[in-house]
A and B are shown apart, each in its own frame.
Chain A
Amino acid sequence: MNTTQKLLNGKFSLEMQVYGSGEPLLYLHGAGGLMPVEPFLEDLGRHFKVYAPHFPGYGESTGIEHIDDIADAVLFYHELMDELGIPTAYIVGHSMGGMMAAEVAAFDVHRARKLVLIAPAGFWIDEAPIPDLFAAQLTEMAGLLFHDPNSPAARMMTAIPSDFKVLEAMYVERVKRFAAASKFLWPIPDRGLKKRAYRIAAPTLLLWGDDDKLIPPAYAKEFESRIKNSKLEIIRNAGHMVMYEQPEALVGAIRKFLEG
């Protein structure tokens, strides 16, 4: 991995993780953001050139004040792709990033060569309300996000550091990230994707943990029925954070779909 800084349009300064080489793959992270190193992206980097930008407001990336809504966010990604010299790419997104990836592909149907949506947000079903992640306490997070809240991955992601300075820095970073995410997810993560999803032309793979307690499987069916060229694959023994609970299965499914 190498981390690069990218200036865009004079409005955004971007921190980005870049892995490997090959066909370009743009990865859009979820509301929680990227870890300092992402092993599953490293794995994907053995087969693709992976670009994983921190969304403005996350990490060292700035400029969130220039993004008010989905249209702004989509144009931001279109400009970023042009700036990176990858006007089209495989686009993979998780959760909020899945919602963004779907929007990017719906606004301009030529951007995504293929689309992979991992437990994407973007819809709301009254009969299957999504739990309020913003009101959830750190102690409740593991239960919401993981199939096995006691697994090492779950424990690591939701650990509370004992050093106050570290805790404070972590808290401030979490506030910054969720504040940025709130522009698309608060109070209900529906910004009109259902009006536009029919436009998505790229072959689309939907990946879902069989035990996703945050965005339950009812949403998988909804995405499958609204995106015409899509297929759904369920990953066993995984919650919402598929990439940490079943990384091999996830990378395997993505490779099979993109390389096939």
Chain B
Amino acid sequence: MKFTWFHLMPYRYLPEDFKEKYRSVWVDIPRDLYDPKVGHRLYNDYLDQLEYADAMGFDGLGVNEHHQNAYGLMPSPNIIAAALSRRTRNASLVVLGNSIALYNPPIRVAEEFAMLDVISGGRLVAGFPVGTSMDTNFCYGEIPATLREKYYEAHELIIKAWTAKDVFAFNGKYTKLRYVNLWPRPLQQPHPPVWIPGGGSVETYDFCADHDYQYSFLSYFGYIAGKKVADGYWEVMAKKRKELNPYSLGFAQVVAVSETDQQAEKDYAAHMDYFYNRCLHVYNGFADAPGYRTVKTIKAGILGQVGEQAALRREGLKWKDFIDQGYVIAGSPRTVRERLREAMKSLNCGHLMLLMQIGSMPPELVRKSTTLFATEVMPHMRDLWSNFEDKWSPRRMAQNEIAMPAAVHFQNAQANGNARAGAPGARGATEVRGAK
């Protein structure tokens, strides 16, 4: 069993009456709700949390791309991954990922991912989402009817750019390039492992199966509701006579650990409420542009993550309902161990993506939950799926080959006469900073 500590990087300070006062957390949320000074602290807190997860032995650090919203403040996850590449040592950098239809030309993604892979010594997982309708159609203006075709073409170009032996010309419908010649090329050969994050579009199962990519179902409905999608995926894999290897499926789950089940509710209930009722408060008109989902997916009856139907389904749910219905796995280490094992077995899932900072959760609680998980849950789940080979994790350089960042910094600079180095405001060791 492998564990990726996944950050959404939400804005933690939306007003109490946000849901009543504003129609959407995404696309047209008023920009004056964002305070860049608060944002400064949040980014640094969040980077600390990811770095801590690396130190605590998580296998991967997850980041992703969203636009014009308070739900996830990473328009460019590559910038976060770049910061992590220097201050982490072991964990994979799971960038889930770049919405490749939005980059012009898409070799920009091939280049940046290659840079990340080389800098990190081969720790990159390359994620290629289509992207949500809010991000792609409403924020970035992509025509819904052609988004998927453009996505597939961008994918073809990126893989070819990574693997081609010689300079080549690419005559696509959306991208035309006379000379494609990637510098740098990725460290992992032929290319980093590819994970495809999906929200339940049925076409994505086939795409993953046909390319031997890992399918990551990023759901907020939890493992009980997620089973329908996982079963759909495994059905396609079986039909195509693919190995039913649990490591070819990733699943995102909200997880929160505390000393006891009762304490967990005290610690986390308010932050879950913030997540489900403010971070996911998306205007229904932005949830699903006409043509974003194919008719085939609509007819499969798979519920979108956001929008009216999703909100109705969550309407009035309390902590106990979130727990009972599997939206959230929370409680004492023992409770979390048992439920997570049951969840991963029922989904046949080998890559768990843990959402451990959720909604308005402050740094001290994130650290507590992460520490308890790493010390009292993770070790007890490592044995799961040990009879399968994980073919979807990075093949990094040997530890002794990996370049270390020089331990220079402020003392050395001071010794060399730069009086400004080490001035107040220069960051030292990580510390837990409180809310504003």
A interface residue numbers (CB < 8 A to B):
64, 68, 132, 134-137, 171-172, 174-180, 182-183, 186-188
A136-B285, A171-B298 known; A187 vs B291 contact (CB < 8 Å): no
Residue of B nearest to A186 (CB): B143
Q: Is B138 in contact with A135, judged by CB distance below 8 angstroms?
A: yes
> Is B404's beta carbon under 8 Å from chain A?
no
Q: Is A183 in contact with B298, judged by CB distance below 8 angstroms?
A: no
Q: Is A179 in contact with B145, judged by CB distance below 8 angstroms?
A: yes
**A136 vs B284: C-alpha distance when bound (angstroms):** 9
Residue of B nearest to A175 (CB): B290
> Is B436's beta carbon under 8 Å from chain A?
no
Q: Is B295 in contact with A176, judged by CB distance below 8 angstroms?
A: yes
Residue of A nearest to B144 (CB): A182
Contacting residues, chain B, for A134 (C-beta < 8 A) = 285, 289-290
> Is B360's beta carbon under 8 Å from chain A?
no
Chain B 267-283 per-residue mask, 1 if CB under 8 angstroms from chain A, else 0:
00000000000000001
Residue of B nearest to A136 (CB): B285
**A171 vs B295: C-alpha distance when bound (angstroms):** 10
Which of A64, A132, A179 is close to B144, meaning CB atoms less than 8 Å apart?
A179
The 6 A-B pairs with the shortest beta carbon distances in the complex, nearest first, are A179-B291, A178-B290, A135-B285, A187-B141, A179-B145, A175-B290
Give the most central of A171, A174, A178, A186: most B CB within 10 Å: A186
For window 289-335 of chain B, which residues contact chain A by CB distance below 8 Å? 289-291, 293, 295, 298-299
Q: Is A186 in contact with B137, judged by CB distance below 8 angstroms?
A: yes
For window 124-178 of chain B, which residues contact chain A by CB distance below 8 Å? 137-138, 141, 143-146, 173
Number of A-B contacts (CB under 8 A): 55
Contacting residues, chain A, for B289 (C-beta < 8 A) = 134-135, 182, 186
Q: Smallest Cβ distance from A45 to chain B, in angstroms?
A: 31
**A132 vs B138: C-alpha distance when bound (angstroms):** 10
Known pairs A134-B285, A175-B298, A180-B145; list 17 more (Cβ under 8 Å): A68-B173, A135-B285, A137-B284, A137-B285, A176-B290, A179-B290, A182-B144, A182-B145, A182-B291, A183-B143, A183-B145, A186-B137, A186-B141, A186-B144, A187-B137, A187-B141, A188-B141
> Is B234's beta carbon under 8 Å from chain A?
no
Contacting residues, chain B, for A177 (C-beta < 8 A) = 290
Residue of A nearest to B284 (CB): A137
**A174 vs B173: C-alpha distance when bound (angstroms):** 27
Q: Smallest Cβ distance from B188 to chain A, in angstroms?
A: 36
> Is B71's beta carbon under 8 Å from chain A?
no
B interface residue numbers (CB < 8 A to A):
137-138, 141, 143-146, 173, 283-286, 289-291, 293, 295, 298-299
Contacting residues, chain A, for B284 (C-beta < 8 A) = 137
Q: Is B295 in contact with A68, judged by CB distance below 8 angstroms?
A: no
Q: Smallest Cβ distance from A57 to chain B, in angstroms?
A: 8
Q: Smallest Cβ distance from A172 to chain B, in angstroms?
A: 6
Contacting residues, chain B, for A137 (C-beta < 8 A) = 284-285
Contacting residues, chain B, for A175 (C-beta < 8 A) = 290-291, 293, 295, 298
Q: Is A172 in contact with B143, judged by CB distance below 8 angstroms?
A: no
Q: Is B295 in contact with A172, judged by CB distance below 8 angstroms?
A: yes
Interface of A (DSSP majority class): helix
Contacting residues, chain A, for B293 (C-beta < 8 A) = 175
Contacting residues, chain B, for A178 (C-beta < 8 A) = 290-291
**A260 vs B298: C-alpha distance when bound (angstroms):** 50
Contacting residues, chain A, for B138 (C-beta < 8 A) = 135, 187
Q: Is A182 in contact with B290, judged by CB distance below 8 angstroms?
A: yes
Q: Smallest Cβ distance from A156 to chain B, in angstroms?
A: 21
Contacting residues, chain A, for B144 (C-beta < 8 A) = 179, 182, 186
**A188 vs B145: C-alpha distance when bound (angstroms):** 15
Q: Smallest Cβ distance from B296 to chain A, in angstroms?
A: 10
Q: Smallest Cβ distance from A161 to chain B, in angstroms?
A: 17
Contacting residues, chain B, for A172 (C-beta < 8 A) = 295, 298-299
Residue of A nearest to B138 (CB): A135
Contacting residues, chain B, for A180 (C-beta < 8 A) = 145, 291
Q: Is B143 in contact with A182, judged by CB distance below 8 angstroms?
A: yes
Q: Smallest Cβ distance from B94 to chain A, in angstroms?
A: 31
Q: Smallest Cβ distance from A92 to chain B, in angstroms?
A: 25
Contacting residues, chain A, for B283 (C-beta < 8 A) = 135
Q: Smallest Cβ distance from A73 to chain B, in angstroms?
A: 13
Q: Smallest Cβ distance from A138 to chain B, in angstroms?
A: 10
Contacting residues, chain B, for A135 (C-beta < 8 A) = 138, 283, 285-286, 289
**A24 vs B346: C-alpha distance when bound (angstroms):** 64
Residue of A nearest to B291 (CB): A179
**A179 vs B133: C-alpha distance when bound (angstroms):** 13
Contacting residues, chain B, for A179 (C-beta < 8 A) = 144-145, 290-291
**A68 vs B146: C-alpha distance when bound (angstroms):** 9
Contacting residues, chain A, for B291 (C-beta < 8 A) = 175, 178-180, 182
**A174 vs B295: C-alpha distance when bound (angstroms):** 11
**A39 vs B193: C-alpha distance when bound (angstroms):** 59
Residue of B nearest to A137 (CB): B285
**A64 vs B291: C-alpha distance when bound (angstroms):** 12
- Chain A to chain B contacts (Cβ below 8 Å), 27 pairs: A68-B146, A134-B289, A134-B290, A135-B138, A135-B283, A136-B285, A137-B284, A137-B285, A171-B298, A172-B295, A172-B299, A175-B291, A175-B295, A175-B298, A176-B295, A178-B290, A178-B291, A179-B291, A180-B145, A180-B291, A182-B143, A182-B145, A182-B289, A183-B145, A187-B137, A187-B138, A187-B143
**A182 vs B143: C-alpha distance when bound (angstroms):** 6
Contacting residues, chain A, for B146 (C-beta < 8 A) = 68, 183
**A68 vs B289: C-alpha distance when bound (angstroms):** 18
Give the most central of A172, A178, A182: most B CB within 10 Å: A182
Contacting residues, chain B, for A187 (C-beta < 8 A) = 137-138, 141, 143
**A171 vs B297: C-alpha distance when bound (angstroms):** 13
Q: Smallest Cβ distance from A206 to chain B, in angstroms?
A: 28
